Amino acid sequence: MQESATEVHNAIQKALQAFQEMKYPVTKSQLIDKAKSLNARNEVIQAIETIPDKEYHSSSDVLQEFKGIQNVMQAFREVKFPATKNQLIEEAKKLNARSEVINALEACSDREYTNFSDVIKECKAKSELAKPR
């Protein structure tokens, strides 16, 4: 069964609620460990892996980082998978996704993606390679 963007969104919301109970400051690594301890979906772990590797001083800081990810999920709610890179970019543009989202999608391989998790995994790696050092 293919996961929906709504299911992933709900799983991220559950993780964010758990993050509110953590003692701050925390690192990205600690957020990943917390999500794993909750048996969070793989997509949630992947989403956490996409946020900047820094110290977070409150759950609000973490939530701010997740807003971009949630914008991507919103863009993909109506996408029927499998979908091509161009279809994903067009959908994101229609929904006025942030430029970071468009840039990440443009960095992806020009292929067909089978589900939302496939997009996150591929595009995260490609966009990190494209970042200036």
pLDDT digits (tens, 9 = 90+) for 114-127: 887 788 777 766 55
Of 25-29, 76-80, 129-133, the range with the highest mean pLDDT is 25-29
As given in the structure block, the two tokens for residue 101 are 């989202």
Band of residue 129 on the pLDDT scale cut at 50, 70, 90: very low
Q: What are phi and psi of 49, to 5 degrees?
A: -65, -20
pLDDT digits (tens, 9 = 90+) for 12-39: 888 889 999 999 999 999 999 999 999 9
pLDDT at position 71 over 70: no
Q: Is the peptide bond before 132 cis (omega within 30 degrees of 0)?
A: no
Q: What is the pLDDT of residue 130?
A: 40
Query: How many other CB atoms sit within 10 Å of the CB of residue 68?
Result: 17
- What are the domain boundaries of the chain? 1-75, 77-132
pLDDT at position 101 over 80: no
As given in the structure block, the two tokens for residue 8 are 């992933």
